[in-house]
Amino acid sequence: MMQERLEELGAIREQVRRGPSERATEAQHAKGKLTARERIELLLDEGSFQEVEPLRRHRATGFGLEDRKPYTDGVVTGWGTVEGRTVFVYAHDFRIFGGALGEAHAQKIHKIMDMAIAAGAPLVSLNDGAGARIQEGVVALAGYGGIFQRNTKASGVIPQISVMLGPCAGGAAYSPALTDFVFMVRETSQMFITGPDVVKAVTGEEITHDGLGGADVHAATSGVAHFAYDDEATCLEEVRYLLSLLPQNNRELPPAEESGDSPDRRTDALYDLVPADGNRPYDMRAVIEEIVDDGEMLEVHERWATNIICALARLDGQVVGVVANQPQHLAGVLDIHASEKAARFVQMCDAFNIPIVTLLDVPGFLPGVDQEHGGIIRHGAKLLYAYCNATVPRISLVLRKAYGGAYIVMDSQSIGADLTYAWPTNEIAVMGAEGAAGVIFRREIAAADDPEAVRRQRIKEYRSELMHPYYAAERGLVDDVIDPADTRGVLIGALAMLRAKHADLPRRKHGNPPQ
C-alpha cells in the first residue's frame, strides 16, 4: 500500500517538475525566456532549493477554471542558498495561466514573504506574469494588496530584489517599485501601468511595448530599473553578486571578505586621473576603481542621472556604499534626478548597515526654470534628509570643488558626517571665485577704468583669502587635508575606527521626508 502511495507521489512530483506540457515549455523557450524552475536553478546554489506548496491548486470556479487546476497555480515558491546564505524566492510560471495572479497564487507568495521576514533573509521575486487573473475578479486584486502590504512591512528589514523576466503591467508593477532593487532583461521584460493599446486609445500616441516600458527605457529614462542586462543568465548572476554585498537583514552587517588588495596601497594614479584645474572634466568611476578593492564595484542606476554615481564596493574586504559626483556629465551638478537617485541609495545603505563614503566635486545645483518648476527644492531636500537621517558611518572627501548648498547636502560635516577629508586641490565656498567677485565687487568693477583688470584682481584676492585649500580645515570644517596617494589607506583606517559606531535618532513613529 505504501509503495503505491509513493509511486503516486512520485508521479505527481514529476508532473509538477515538468509543468503543464512540453509545448508550453517550448513556447517559453521560443520567446528567449527560461522556465521558472530553470531561473531558480541559476539563481540559487546547486541543489539547495526547497519548494513550498508545490501541490497547491486553485479552488475557483466559473469561466472554465474548474476544468483547469494545475499544480503550483502558476508560481513556484521556496528557499535555498546563495553562496551558502539563505535566500527566499518566488517565480511566476508563465506557462500556467500566463503567470496571472489568483487567490491561491497570491496566498503562496504571501506565505513565502512572511517566512522571509520571520527568518530575516533576503527575498527575490522572479517576475513573469500577465497581471491579475481576470476570471477570479476582485479576489485577485486583493491578492496584490497583500503583496504590497508585505513589501512595505519588509522594507528596510530584509533586502528585497525584483527581477523582471517578462511582462509586468498595471497594479502588479507597484510591487517591484516598493522593493530595494529592480533588474530587467532587454527585449523580454516590460513594466508599465497602462499598455500601448490603452495609451493609443487615450492619447493617440503609438508606441511599442519595449518603447513604453522596456529595460532600456526604465534603466536610462524613468529610473525604475536599477540594472539592465542582455540575457537572463547574466542578469541572475548579477543578482547573486548583489546579494553577496548585502546583509541578510537590518540586524546584521554586510558580509566581509578577505582582501588581497593591501589596505596600505598608495593611490598615486589619482594624481593623473584628477586634473588640478577645477574646470576640466574627468571620469569619477576611474577614481573609485583606483581606491576600492581590486577596482571592483557594482554601480546602481548606472545609466540614469549619470551626473552622480552610486555604487557598492569593498574597502579592505568591508562593504561600503559610494556616492560621488561625476564631472564627466553636467560637470557633476546636482539636479532633480541625481538628488532622488542618491537619496534612495543613502537610505538603502543606512537601512542595511552599509557605511557611506561620499566623494565631492560639485559646482552646485543645476540652475534653470525646468529645475525650479520641477521642484528641485523638495527633491534636493530628499538627499539632505537621507544623509541627516543616516546613522551608519559616514565619511566625505572633497576632491576639488564644493560650492554652495550642494556642498552642504553632499554629507558635509555640518549635517553629520563623522569625518571629512579634502585633497590640496579642494575649493570649498559659497560659490566660485568668479561669481563671488562679480557679486561683492560689482559696483567697483563697473566704475573702473579697466573693469577686466579689476575683476581679475578681485577674483585673485577672493580665491586667496576665502578659497585656499586650508580655509575649511583651519575652521574645523574639514578634519584633515590629505595626499591623494594616501586616500585608500585613510578611508580604510577611518572606517575601521567607525565600525562599532552607534547613534540613536529621537524616538518617533517615523519621519516625514520631503516628497
**Residues annotated as catalytic (active site), given as ranges:** 170-171, 405-406
Euclidean distance between CA atoms 458 and 17, whole angstroms: 78
Cβ burial, residue 504 (10 Å; 0-12/13-18/19+): exposed
Instruction: State CA 105 to chain mean position distance.
Output: 28
User: Is there a contact between 278 and 401 (Cβ–Cβ < 8 Å)?
Assistant: yes
Q: Which residues contact 297 (CB under 8 A, 6 or more apart)?
A: 288, 289, 311, 312, 313, 322
Q: List the Cα angle 69/75/77 in 5-degree steps.
A: 125
Residues with Cβ < 8 Å from 439, sequence gap 6 or more?
A: 431
The conformation of residue 220, written as its DSSP 8-state character, comes to I
Sequence-distant (6+) residues with CB within 8 A of 96 are 19, 20, 24, 70, 72, 73, 74
Q: How many other CB atoms sit within 10 Å of the CB of residue 142?
A: 13
Neighbours of 84 (CB within 10 A): 8
3-state SS assignment for residue 264:
coil
Phi, psi dihedrals of residue 183, rounded to the nearest 5°: -105, 145
> Which backbone phi and psi does 211 adopt, to 5 degrees?
-65, -30
- Containing 167, the helix (H) or strand (E) segment is strand 167-169
